[in-house]
């Protein structure tokens, strides 16, 4: 640690307040101990800090930046923003993973329902064929059931093709909006 302001840690590092109380210049500051991954031990003395980022604070609780250059402060802010972005990305990854797992389970249930529906239709078709075989020859009964399913399949194909022809792969409104951006940036 080169400065007392470089308290940023990687997104996966264990940071956060410890349950120990640290005696600092006659005042007791509870809840802060430097991260063990930063190479500090719990028995070293530290000034009061805000949170676990390493920025010293005044007795009023404001950041103590007296004697610190603007460059160091900007550097600290950029480190904190970088840490924040990494932590937000990790959080987003965890949330997306959990949601993807739920979506996968739901898709599996839809697949099972689809297979069960297929089996129902298969056995209903066989029952219809055997029912018609009481009136007609079994071969003709099977042919009639197959023709009915062929007609249903043809109607579904035509309807699906019509729906696909209505799909526009290019997002028209977004393209129009993006084409207006360069004109909006030009001075009038």
Q: What is the pTM of this model?
A: 0.43
Picking from 30, 1, 31, the residue whose alpha carbon sits closest to that of residue 16 is 31
Confidence of residue 5 (pLDDT cuts 50, 70, 90): very low
Rounded-to-integer distance, Cα 64 and Cα 76, Å = 13
* Contact (Cβ atoms closer than 8 angstroms) between residue 8 and residue 82: yes
CB under 8 Å to 125, separation ≥6 — which residues?
Answer: 145, 149
CA distances from residue 161 to 2, 37, 148 in whole angstroms, order as listed: 66, 60, 20
Rounded-to-integer distance, Cα 17 and Cα 1, Å = 19
Name which residue leads in pLDDT, 99 or 37. Answer: 99
Residue 119 is predicted with a pLDDT of: 96
For residues 135-154, average pLDDT: 94
Which pLDDT tens digit goes with each residue over 66-118?
A: 878 888 888 888 898 899 899 999 998 999 999 999 999 999 999 999 999 99
């Amino acid at each position: 640690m080169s400065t007392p302001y470089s308290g940023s840690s990687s997104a996966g590092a264990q940071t956060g307040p410890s349950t120990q109380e640290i005696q600092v210049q006659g005042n007791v500051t509870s809840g802060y101990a430097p991260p063990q991954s930063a190479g500090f031990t719990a028995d070293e003395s530290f000034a009061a800090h805000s949170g676990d980022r390493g920025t010293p604070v005044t007795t009023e609780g404001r950041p103590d930046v007296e004697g610190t250059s603007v460059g160091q402060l900007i550097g600290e802010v950029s480190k904190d923003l970088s840490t924040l972005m990494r932590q937000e990305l990790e959080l987003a990854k965890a949330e997306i993973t959990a949601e993807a797992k739920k979506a996968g389970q739901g898709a599996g249930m839809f697949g099972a329902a689809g297979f069960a529906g297929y089996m129902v239709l298969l056995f209903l078709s066989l029952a219809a064929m055997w029912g018609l075989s009481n009136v007609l020859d079994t071969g003709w009964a099977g042919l009639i059931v197959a023709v009915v399913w062929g007609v249903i399949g043809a109607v579904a194909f035509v309807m699906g093709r019509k729906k696909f022809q209505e799909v526009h792969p290019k997002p028209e409104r977004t393209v129009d909006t993006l084409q207006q951006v360069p004109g909006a940036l030009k001075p009038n």
